[in-house]
Structure 1
Amino acid sequence: MYENILRHPGPTPIPKRVDLAMSKNIISHRTPEFIELYNETVELAKPIFGTTENILFLPSGGTAALEAAAINTVSAGEDVVIITVGAFGDYFVNICEQHSFRVHKLEKPWGEACTAQELSEFLQDLPSIKAVFITYNETSTGILNPIEELAKVVHEKTDALVIVDGVSCIGGVAPKMDEWGIDILVTGSQKALMLPPGLALVAVNKRAWKVIEANQTQSYYLNLLSYKNWAEKGMTPNTPAIMLLYGLNEACKLINEEGGIEQTAKRHVVMRNMVRAAMTALNIGLLTEDAYASPTVTAIKVPKGIVLADFVAHLKAKYHLDFAGGLGSLQGEIFRFGHMGYCFPSDVLQAVSLMEAALQDFNYDFTAGAGILAAQKVFLESTK
């Protein structure tokens, strides 16, 4: 039986070295061996976040970490702003409304990013908000919000915390958490960090810790102060995802071997540009404009004259190429090409080639090889 070529925006392929690291004998999380693993992995992860702050590890999906960031900093009845440009921005809305925060939603049409000017105008009459929640990379639309510019506006206009969902891009972009003034940055394991699901990473700066200490959340399992106190001992308050920590340690080393997160981020930009150039050459539309296009996932419109569900199913059945469909209002309108983590220009060329084969099966009108040549050109120019 053939293995599918997974080109989803998560979960994503796992490197063999990471798989092997996770196959080690399990150890107790209350031993010197674990403390060594924990502390080393924290240090390896810091540059990926662009921070000197410690990284907390939660045995959960990214959504639990988003909820932890919310409930540890904000109490019921307090005002928050949520920037939503797609399905995962709406996650933040649902979390905050569930906990009875007063939500002020800055909502953009799906496929558009939020600009600094728009946020500045929105905050004009909201000087007393507690936090601004922002999705860094919107998986449902392939948008990368300009986090540096947005964080700057928040700090200029308010005393609010900047809390960022980086689940679908950390490990594929090069954020500067400390320099940009991000107060809390969250991600998950199954995207650009090249791991299975089940581990969340949370970085918190000193400014946010002061707010957290004053807030005194009622949560037990998601109490970040508890994680902070145990982290000082090189451990977690409850049983951690030990094997995923082994894997994360190895994944971070792979990023270092590539030249560090800056170099890894450059590879992701090249792959993004390859995909976009290929689709343009094939006369297939893209949801987002170039200026805010994600380096980890591209949202692609339905090729003319083709039923999307049939096309995506055919790609998987005949060519074993597995793309993700659209979410929410974009279901049936787009498919999503994930190019993050353990993905390289050669993988993009393979996927584009198989797409072209499928397009021929559907009698789509195009010049055979046009997409491949366009993607090759981008790649070759990047190597000069």
Structure 2
Amino acid sequence: MQEELLLTPGPTPIARRTYQAMSQGIFGHRTQRFKDLSASIQDRLKPVFGTDQDVVILTATGTSTLEAAMVNLVAPGDDIVIIVSGVFGEKFKIIAERYNYKVHIYDVEWGEAADPEAFKTFLSKLDSVQAVFTQACETSTSVLHPLKELGQVVQEYDQYTLFIVDAVSALGGADIHMERDGIDCLVTGSQKALMLPPGLGFVGINDKALDKINQGPETRYYLDLRMYLASLEEDYTPQTPAVTLYQGLDDVLDIIHEEGLENVYKRHIKMQKMLRAGLRALDLKPLVDDDAASPTVTAVSSNEEEIALIKDSLAQDYGISIAGGQKILAGKIVRIGHMGFMFPKDMLTILSALEAILSQSRQKDYYGKAIAAAQGAVK
């Protein structure tokens, strides 16, 4: 039985050393040992977020952080804008509709990035918008939005309007920096570029967001960020944390430090360039243009029959797991993850497999072409 190569856009592979760190054995979360672990994690997590503020860690999924951002930063009756460019933008919309917010949707065609100037025009027609929500990377299409430019638009609209970003499939792989990019709240999960199993959610906030949190009503409990921030002052958590995942996170942050954060970003860009060049050499078309392509996931389009063949053959014949399309893109694309504990050699592996699959199915010789194109893209 062959070992599976996991190239989905989440969950993602986990380093053997991280598994070992998580198997050290459980210990109490009200101990000095946990307090030391929590403090050490915060020191190294802050640079990943691009902030000098404590980052809240929830024992929960990435989706919980989207809801946490809303219920802590938006008051009932507030006007908010949600940029929707795919499945996960729609998730923000669904969450918002469960609460008593005035929701304005800025629709972006699936597969395209938000245009800052067009968004500026849209926003200028609205009064008293309290918060703008967007994805960094819309995982369902593999598009990367121009966060810095969008953050500037929000700041110019009103200095008190919050810019809230879902970076679940981006943070740790794409170059995102809260302070530089004008992000007031940045949320993510553990199971993608942060190289851990699902189970931890992260919420980074700045002083402006903290002021809004402290003004909010007492209408939440488990997701009340005030409890977590108060506990962090003593390096604890208000509820029982996933201690083993904290041990894994401790190791992941060591891995990032050893490679260097800038080198982590460069590795992700290298994988992106290799994969996109190789796919084009196979006459496969990436869904997203190069200037809006995420460094963490690539969507590639083809006809429904070939999409099914690619996904099934990779899994059955080569032990490579990728993801299909969602909702309106179901049967139209496959999505290949290249984030976290993935490397250029993994791109060569999947491209080699695709050469064989498509050479056989199309009766055309692709052998060596994708590999050569991938290597040529980064030489």
Structure-2 residue corresponding to 1:321: 320
What do residues 249-306 of structure 1 show as CA deviations (whole Å, max 9, x unaligned)?
11111111112x211011101110111101111111110011010000000012x694
Q: Deviations over 1:178-199 (max 9, x none)?
A: 1222110001000000000000
Residue 331, structure 1, aligned to residue 333, structure 2: no
Partner residue, 1:17: 17
- Mapped to 2, the partners of 1:365 and 1:94 lie a distance apart of 45
Question: 1:223 corresponds to which residue?
Answer: 224
**Residue 294 in structure 1 maps to residue 291 in structure 2:** no
Deviation sequence 1:62-97 (CA, Å, 0-9, x none): 100110000001122211000111100111101111
Contact 2:358–2:366 (8 Å) recurs in 1: no
Which residue number corresponds to residue 360 of structure 1?
359
Distance 2:21 2:207 in 1: 33
TM-score, scaled relative to structure 1: 0.96
**Structure 1 Cα separation of the partners of residues 345 and 92 of structure 2:** 35
What SS does the aligned partner of 2:331 have?
coil
Give deviations 1:218-267, integer Å, cap 9, x for gaps. 110000001100111101110011111111111111111112x2110111
Q: Which runs of 5+ in 1 are unaligned?
A: none
Alpha-carbon spacing, 1:31–1:361, altered in 2? closer, same or farther (3 Å): same
Alignment-derived partner of residue 48 in structure 1: 48
The within-5 A match list for 1:105-144 is 105-144=105-144
| Whole-angstrom CA distance in 2 between matches of 1:365 and 1:111 | 29
Q: Does residue 27 in structure 1 map to residue 27 in structure 2? A: yes
1:236 matched to 2:242:
no
Where 1:179 maps in the other structure, the secondary structure is helix
The CA deviation at 1:174 is 2.2
Q: How does 1:344-359 map to 2 (within 5 A)?
A: 344-359=343-358
Q: Tell me which amino acid in the other structure corresponds to 2:348.
A: L
Deviation at 1:127, TM superposition (A): 3.5
Q: CA separation in 2, counterparts of 1:357 and 1:119?
A: 44
Alpha-carbon contact 2:174-2:294 (below 8 Å) kept: no
2:311 is equivalent to residue 312 of structure 1: yes
| Bigger mean CA offset, 233-242 vs 304-313 | 304-313
In 1, distance between residues paired with 2:343 and 2:280?
20
| Higher mean C-alpha deviation, range 366-375 or range 36-45 | 366-375
Spell out structure 1 runs of 4+ moving beyond 2 A: 304-307, 363-367
Give yes or no for contact 1:80–1:101 (8 Å, CA) kept in 2: yes
Moved more, 61-70 or 214-223: 214-223
CA contact (8 A) 1:52 1:178 kept: no
Deviations 1:13-68 (A, max 9, x none): 00011111101111111000000000100111111111111111100001001100
Aligned-partner residue type, residue 7 of structure 1: L
Please list every run of 5 or more consecutive structure 2 residues that lacks an aligned counterpart in the other structure.
Answer: none
Cα distance in 2 between the residues matched to 1:250 and 1:216: 37
Alignment of 1:96-111 (within 5 A): 96-111=96-111
Contact preservation (8 Å) 2:355, 2:366: no
In 2, the alpha carbon distance for the partners of 1:172 and 1:362 equals 34
Structure 1 pair 53/366, CA: closer, same or farther in 2 (3 Å)?
Answer: farther
Counterpart residue identity of residue 132, structure 2: V
Report the AA paired with residue 174 of structure 1. Answer: D
Q: Which residue of structure 1 lines up, in the alignment, with residue 205 of structure 2?
A: 204
Q: Give the equivalent residue in structure 2 for 1:157.
A: 157
Change (3 A) 1:112 1:305: closer
Is the Cα contact below 8 Å between 2:325 and 2:331 reproduced in 1?
Answer: yes
Taking structure 1 as reference, are residues 61 and 364 closer, same or farther at Cα in structure 2, changes over 3 Å only?
Answer: farther
The 1:305/1:105 distance shift into structure 2, 3 A limit, reads closer
Question: Shift in Å at residue 3 of structure 1?
Answer: 2.3
Which residue is equivalent to 1:71?
A: 71
Alignment root-mean-square deviation, CA: 1.2
User: Measured at CA, do residues 58 and 363 of structure 1 come closer, stay the same or move farther in structure 2, by a change above 3 Å?
Assistant: same
What SS does the aligned partner of 2:9 have?
coil
What is the TM-score of this pair, normalised by structure 2? 0.97
Deviation (angstroms), 1:217? 4.2
Q: 1:358 Cα shift? A: 1.4
User: Sequence identity of aligned pairs in percent?
Assistant: 43
Equivalent residue letter for 1:325: G
Check whether the contact 1:72–1:217 (CA below 8 A) recurs between aligned residues.
Answer: no
The alignment partner of 1:134 has SS state of strand
